[in-house]
Structure formats: structure tokens, C-alpha cells
Amino acid sequence: TFLDRMINLVEGAKRKKTPNEIALNILLLGLTIIFLLAVVTLEPFAIYSGATLSIPVLAALMVCLIPTTIGGLLSAIGIAGMDRLLKRNVLAMSGRAVEAAGDVGVLLLDKTGTITLGNRMATEFVSGPGISPEKLADAAQLSSLADETPEGRSIVVLAKEKFNLRERDINSIGAKFIPFSAHTRMSGVDFQGREIRKGAMDSIEQYLQDNGGQMAPEVKAAVEDIAKKGGTPLVVAEKDQALGVIYLKDVVKGGIRERFAQLRRMGIKTVMITGDNPLTAAAIAAEAGVDDFLAEATPEAKLKLIREYQSKGNLVAMTGDGTNDAPALAQSDVGVAMNSGTQAAKEAGNMVDLDSNPTKLIEIVEIGKQLLMTRGALTTFSIANDVAKYFAIIPALFIVTYPQLGLLNIMGLATAQSAILSAVIFNALIIVALVPLALRGIAYRPLGANVILRRNLLIYGLGGLIAPFIGIKVIDMLLVLLGLS
């Protein structure tokens, strides 16, 4: 069944760690191992040189040198990102989801309701050869009586307005309604021996062939003509005969082209996902200004497309609201489910937009990039901060044995005990001092990676080197003043 297919696809979908997450883990692990080895080798060196090192001193050195600053701030940065999204009515399931949004390279957007207004309306009945427009309108209305979508209701209204066909009660005439599904891509009605179907051209063509019929060239030409205009053609058929085409018209949202241009400047590729035929999809894509499109999309096709982009090293974001979107939402690195959507879609995604506004993805990406910029800046500060502590602790440990190390005592700290105690106190205070910055975040600017790196090195790298020299010296002076040195 359709549900079984969706369950199997969701179970096969799996999110991977982002490149930034992997890089940070490797960096923190590598630095921890290096500093651990440095501390462990100090004891043999001290024994060889005749110096005395106590366990508390080595423990203090270890605490000061390993990257505890950024480790202590990572949770605050992630929570702050989730909080900023929540203020925009987007519920993120984890800080990792927000982080992934900042690294997104490909954005998959559903056409209907996201790129277009979503209220496609029937505007014309184009009858096939030998079929009167009234007969086509009657069949179209019958197949849409139980269709509560805006498209279905507009077909019923158009038939009434153009041919005075009164709406009939589908239950009173003993009809069986065939609902639309993503698998068949058509719907219809069975009653009194009649079988009426409406749907995409390829689906109806297959339906006609199964019933021993063929689609007339005139009907195919009408489908192509409507598609080239950017409309959605729905073919209506009864058993083995194509009756004609319904012209559904949709309108591209105002300002959407400018928003896609903004995403392009951020280095993000936009891909429109639609169930329309390739001609209609191409016309809408050109008008909206997206970079690519996937026409006649099925759940399997969406999943395949996402995996193709991911295999090339891209992080993919997607919005969706239906059960048929669940596999793709589960596979995408950032899956934003609409609050108005199905429970399956919300369970599969790692974010839920409470306003059900798919264009909010742009804001999500910006908040994700702000999170990455904040983490990058504080990581730079943390590493520079750890390097500066060497000048406080290492000379203090061996200055008695090797007086020449006094040249490295740039801070002019009073005693070895004072140096170590000052470094430990500073290490604890700096984390608390940086929490407000971690929560507020670095102001987002659409800058390139090289520009951001140079800026972080200049501001936070240099700041990370200078701050410990000033902070540790001030604490050392206070300890001397209090007689604790």
C-alpha cells in the first residue's frame, strides 16, 4: 500500500553529521589529545630536571589547556539558535538542525503554496475532438463533486457558471469517489456504469491504454499549449476516451524572484519540486527564477534527488506537509515540516514551522549561518586563549630549575602558585563572561568564507591572545594584594 511504501522509504532515510560538526569534533579531540600528551610528558621531564610537580598542579594545567571554553559554550550557542527560531515560530528539534541550516547548499521548495499562491483555479474547458464543451464540463464536475481542494471546487463552480450545471450530491446518486493519490496522480468517480477520471496527462494516457483506448493528438496538443503558458493541464477521460483538458491557472508570488536571487548570492541553489509536467514546470521555474526543477515528482524521485545532491557533498534543505513528503524530509539535512501538514511529515522533519509558511526557509538559513559564525568566532577565541595560558603556567612550573624561562614570564606573575591559581580562576571566569555573546550571537552578514575567517582571526584570534594576558595579570595582582600568592 501507499502507507507501507512511505514507511519503508522513511526507515531507509538517514541524516549524516554535517561537515562543520565533523571538523569541530576532530579539532576538539585533536587539541585534547595534544594537550593531554603535553601534560603527561611534563612529569618525566620534571623528574629528569629535578623539579617537583604535584598532581593538583598537573590537573590545573590540564583543565586550563584543554579547549574547555568552546566546549562549555557549544550548548549555549545551540540553545540560542533554537530560541531565535522559536521567536520566528519555528520549532527546531535540536541545535544540530539549526547548525545544518547554516551549511545548506541546496534548497528544495514545493511549487504550490511556496513559489505560487497555491490557489489554482479552473479557467477553461478545452474539449477533445467530437466532444462538446458541455459534455466535458459535466464529466469534470462529476469527478470533482467530492474534491474539497481549491482546484476541485473551482471546477465545479466553472461548470455551473459556463453551462448552468447544478452541483449534485455525490451520495444521492450512489457514486463512488476515487481520491487522488501521489502514486496514481489522478482522481475520479464511478457511478451508474460510468468511470470518469481526471489527472496528469501521462497517468490518464496509461488509464486509457489499460481500457483499450488512445489519447487524441488534439488533446495532447491542448495539454502542451496550456503547459507552455505556465498553467496546469488536467485531462478528463471516461473509460477509453479522452474528453478534453481543464486549464488550471496559478500565479507566482510577488517578490519571490528577488528572494531566490538573494539565496543565490548566499551560494544556495534552489530547486522547485512539482507534480506538474515538465513543460509547465519549466515555464513556472523560468518565471520564478529558480535554478532547477523536478517535474512529475514522486516520493521516490524526491528521495533520489536529495541523495544525489548529498553524494556530491551538499547539505539539502526541504519543506513539506504531506505523508508523501515524509521520506524526503527524513533524508534531508534540514527538513522543515508545516504545522498544517500530516503527523508523518512532522515526525520525519527536524523542524516544524508553526506558521506553515514555506518561504521562511530563508530566515532559517540566515539563523543557521549566524550560529556557525558565532561558533567559529568563539572557537577562534578559545584556541588563542589556550595558547596564551602557556605563557602563564609553563614558566611558573620550571622557573626555579631553569631561571632562563623567566624570559617567557611576560606577564610578570608573582609566584608559581599565583600563576597557576590565576590561570585556573581566569579559565572559569572567561566561560561565564562569553555566555552572553554566545546567547546573543554574532551579527549575521552575507560575507564569503575567506572574509569571515580573516575577520575572526583579527578580532577574536587577537582578542583571545590579549585577554588572558590582561585577565591573568589582574587576578595575580589581586591574589598578591589579598596575600594568597
- pLDDT tens, residue by residue, 165-217: 877 766 666 788 888 877 788 888 888 888 999 998 889 999 999 999 999 99
Same domain? For 276 and 196 the reply is no
The catalytic site residues sit at: 110
Same domain? For 233 and 335 the reply is no
Q: What is the pLDDT of residue 218?
A: 93
As a whole number of angstroms, the distance between CA 98 and CA 366 comes to 10
Same domain? For 169 and 272 the reply is no
Query: Within 13 Å and on the Cβ side, how many CA atoms surround 356?
Result: 11
Asked if the structure places residue 409 within a domain, the reply is no
As a whole number of angstroms, the distance between CA 37 and CA 62 comes to 10
Same domain? For 128 and 247 the reply is yes
As a whole number of angstroms, the distance between CA 98 and CA 434 comes to 21
Residues of the chain falling short of pLDDT 50: none
CB 121 within 8 A of CB 151: yes
As a whole number of angstroms, the distance between CA 10 and CA 331 comes to 8
Domain stops at, among 338, 361, 384: 361
Q: What is the pLDDT of residue 309?
A: 92
Same domain? For 217 and 326 the reply is no
Same domain? For 156 and 199 the reply is yes
As a whole number of angstroms, the distance between CA 158 and CA 189 comes to 18
| Amino acid in the structure at residue 179 | P
What is the phi-psi region of residue 109: left when phi exceeds 0, alpha when psi lies from -120 to 50, beta otherwise? Answer: beta
CATH assignment of the domain containing 228: 3.40.1110.10
| Crossing angle for the helix pair 416-440 and 55-65, to the nearest 10 degrees | 30
Asked if the structure places residue 402 within a domain, the reply is no
Q: What is the pLDDT of residue 455?
A: 80
Work out the burial of residue 407: count CB atoms within 10 Å of its CB; fewer than 13 is exposed, 13-18 middle, 19 or more buried. exposed
What cell does 23 get? 571538523
| Amino acid in the structure at residue 317 | A
Using a CB cutoff of 8 Å and minimum separation of 24, what contacts does 55-59 make?
A: 57/397, 57/420
Domain that holds residue 474: 449-484
Looking at residue 116, the DSSP 8-state letter turns out to be B
Per-residue CA distances from 12 to 7, 265, 273, 282, 323 (Å): 9, 34, 21, 31, 15
Per-residue CA distances from 130 to 109, 210, 304, 340, 443 (Å): 40, 22, 42, 44, 66
Residues shown for the chain: 485
Same domain? For 282 and 225 the reply is no
Same domain? For 236 and 134 the reply is yes
Give the start-end residues of each E strand in 339-444: 351-353
Asked if the structure places residue 348 within a domain, the reply is yes
What is the count of structural domains for the chain? 4
| Amino acid in the structure at residue 324 | N
Same domain? For 226 and 261 the reply is no
Asked if the structure places residue 457 within a domain, the reply is yes
CB 471 within 8 A of CB 391: no
Q: What is the pLDDT of residue 244?
A: 94
Q: What is the pLDDT of residue 3?
A: 58
User: Which residues does 276 contact at the CB level (< 8 Å), separation at least 6?
Assistant: 111, 200, 227, 232, 284, 295, 296
